[in-house]
Structure 1
């Protein structure tokens, strides 16, 4: 299968990442089935894409006709049975291996025999996911960055079983979607999160040890390292539950205590303070996602 032959894709999960993947695929002229646990959630996901694009229309960055044509290419669905004519499916759900394994089995059963099954996982073994399917040679990691429509990178991850033809088809598809590709072998955290998560976790340790304030830590990274966001701000954007899940994968699978998650990160997740998506993480956010203060003021 070549990238140009991909006419229809399925996206599993209508959350932030799934919506972004659906949007960029539809913008490239590909028909998309956006699936979630219920028709209501899938419809809501499409509506949120429409709202984001509506703002672009208001600002004169997109013609209204183009917005409507893009939305017309997205079909919401409450079950993966709608993937029957898809050439490729991308799973984009929470970073939990048991959930992903269950959904991979369901997607494998729903997809045509020749279709590719990809995961947007940021840390979980592609080899393990592939082994749960009847098409292990056509399973691959296709890790988009957040927010998908703005970030140019796609990290492709080859499992032990991934065939060269599958890799090449997915690489070409990523380029068709306007992305730059990097390739990782199937190792914990792959390339991006193997570097990023220890950085974010070390900022958590520095904060809990009182080395500096959240504002100082973030300003230090922005102005001293020329990063667009500080580590605590970025963790809040990613979602602290996701950061913790990846840190736990690194710690467990690499077996090195340098990857152990900081207690402050565990505590915030336990409190349900997961970052911007809950309105509170290391910082407190208003309804527009703007910071209004720190969470841990005493």
Structure 2
């Protein structure tokens, strides 16, 4: 098996369930860790829906029952301590991620690995909280996980080179392409993606064109699979704001946050998850 026999995923939101789903389809036993019983119940429902969709679309030859027999959802951190790999996928906050990684690390076997699904936070800063920083690597998945084809592998200063090699094999095994970048603000994908999105928001703010026309320019003119404003809706305007603020602190004024983005977040127009962002969505 090219993926670990058992993979833990700490965080059962949209991203965490997507990651768990990907490893489940690749043949791993998967355990999703949530903060409490209520959150675990929600994560279980999301995973069941994801598996049902795979079966309906015939992206797997296994039945939903068979797949789900290899999946568990829990609120007890001890349940992921038997995993060969645990991927942290909690909200993009350094303290929250560090706390989860520290709690997970305490019970892991010496041969197990840790990964963080961060889009912009420092791997070195997170590794600094761990007893064995060499066991941590960044695995930056993209939303939505089932449709995305890229995973960014981020190596920190202490990351074991064997872990980077193993991560590339795992990414290939779940049917995605990997790139390897060193730990730096925004890595490669967020740094490029955010600067394009922020300029698109400024153009909308300045009345240069409508949101639909700005996106069409990039989709038709530059062959982007989705426009920067629609993608911001998918990512979440609040998530985009947090990343932009981090990059502005680290890299300077070229990542300055447009007033429109702050206004929309303050008003709760967060994109697909709230039903309204730069575009209207049928589901929240």
- Aligned equivalent of 2:234: 237
- Give the Å deviation of 1:214: 1.2
Alignment of 1:212-291 (within 5 A): 212-254=209-251, 256-287=252-283
Cα distance in 1, alignment partners of residues 99 and 222 from structure 2:
41
- Aligned equivalent of 2:149: 152
- Give the Å deviation of 1:54: 2.3
CA, structure 1 residues 27+5, in 2 after alignment: closer, same or farther (shift >3 Å)?
A: closer
**Which blocks of at least 5 consecutive residues in structure 2 are unaligned?**
none
Cα distance in 1, alignment partners of residues 182 and 54 from structure 2:
37
- Give the Å deviation of 1:39: 2.5
CA, structure 1 residues 75+261, in 2 after alignment: closer, same or farther (shift >3 Å)?
A: same
Contact preservation (8 Å) 1:279, 1:285: yes
**Residue deviations 1:46-91, cap 9 Å, x none?**
222222332444455555x532221111110113221121111101
TM-score w.r.t. the length of structure 1 is 0.90
- Aligned equivalent of 2:170: 173
CA, structure 1 residues 5+11, in 2 after alignment: closer, same or farther (shift >3 Å)?
A: closer
User: Is the partner of 1:160 in helix, strand or coil?
Assistant: coil
User: Is the partner of 1:69 in helix, strand or coil?
Assistant: helix
- Aligned equivalent of 2:116: 119
Report how many residues are paired: 284
* Alignment equivalent of 2:127, drawn from 120, 127, 130: 130
1:41 aligns with 2:52: no
- Give the Å deviation of 1:156: 0.2
CA, structure 1 residues 4+219, in 2 after alignment: closer, same or farther (shift >3 Å)?
A: closer
Cα distance in 1, alignment partners of residues 27 and 197 from structure 2:
36
**Residue deviations 1:252-280, cap 9 Å, x none?**
112x2011111111111122221101111
* Alignment equivalent of 1:81, drawn from 78, 82, 96: 78
**Residue deviations 1:110-156, cap 9 Å, x none?**
32233111001000000010010011011110111121122121110
CA RMSD of aligned residues (A): 1.7
Cα distance in 2, alignment partners of residues 74 and 202 from structure 1:
42
Contact preservation (8 Å) 1:36, 1:42: yes
